Structure 1
């Protein structure tokens, strides 16, 4: 294991003012107005103290800042408050309700419809998965920031595997989160084989006491998102690699564990999909 030292950096972002516009308008050519606004990925939206999940099938739905006001996605906010949203094309309105099933051109928010049932929450201990898809316009730096929490969660599963030798939870995480390529295949078998070899090597080199101590250190650092200076990303045309490393120490040993997130371009859909992960 490589000896390293790290600095812990914590960034706390608060929102002091929030404006939400949800309602109806007469849809016609003269109702549309092209504006110049800013998308602010640094703003966190909270409902009753809990952060709102701004992810969607098309990527993150960050607040838009226009003339000093914040405009947030109606779907994400309504669902965080236990409601649902649908686009009513007959009345040209975005309708927010507090319950009930919701049925499934510029200016029409057709992708704001809520699903007929709330999204299933991950099982306890499985961790929050990475963002599934990104457009080519999304820089790797943004992808890196948005996936930090997912990296921390899977590193905690990795720590459990280091302590127990069991890959069951990690393999379940990979099966649940790997997206298919344009050929309908995933990299699960390759990733699972690589994981098994990595764990075998660590467990041959270190005894259980040392591995437990290092794994506990990894969990603590992951909970704090304390990624070290070796953590980085690459921004290529057909692939985006996100690398998250954590310095650990315990039982007189110190070193580094980490995970690589690999995004690949699906040239049929022209989107980057989360295709594989590898562990260090």
Structure 2
């Protein structure tokens, strides 16, 4: 797929205050395509995204659902890992050395050996890895996965970021409880097709408006697991105003910066992250 040009959108409306509203906060969605079942190749692609994000001052980077394997339900059990698996070392090391928190998607083995979770692993700047597991499964996912336990909010430069994975955003209580717990950012790793894009991004914009949270949506940039993801990853400001969105599929970084209480956004091509032929 061809790379998209830089696109910059700027808001003109002052936004509700978050803690330390005068400080700069930069968050981003990594809209990436995944190579089915090839964790090493996907790690290499993730590192390109992380480098581009670091070059643009991103503090918090979120990848799509199951980004490191693709949305490959039939392969999930074979590909599932523990959060401390050595395969994650290059990503873990980059996050630590760059000072950027990254959230990557991968099947995670349950501690009791009872099944596999859809996981989002939080690569912290101190070298630690946090684990979030999908609580609300999409119909059909129970054939490969078991419901997860959620996870803790992520501290991003003094702002609390609550995580969500795909179908969880269709549960209004999920976002409401995150806001009640003090989250100022709601960040979702997704797999959205054309049919689901409009209704589900409508929900996300509504959560931004209703709960006063900035909302980030990282979608796959192309086909995965038999589903045709449409990209169009996006970020909304507190109050529901759209800050920036990718115009379509492809490998791009969708970033937004909040400075002096206002958001600006940009879609950035990622060099070397084109899909495999």
TM-score for both structures, normalised by structure 2: 0.23
Specify which structure has the bigger relative contact order, considering alpha-carbon pairs within 8 angstroms and separated by 6 or more residues.
2
More strand by percentage: 2
Q: Which has the larger radius of gyration?
A: 1
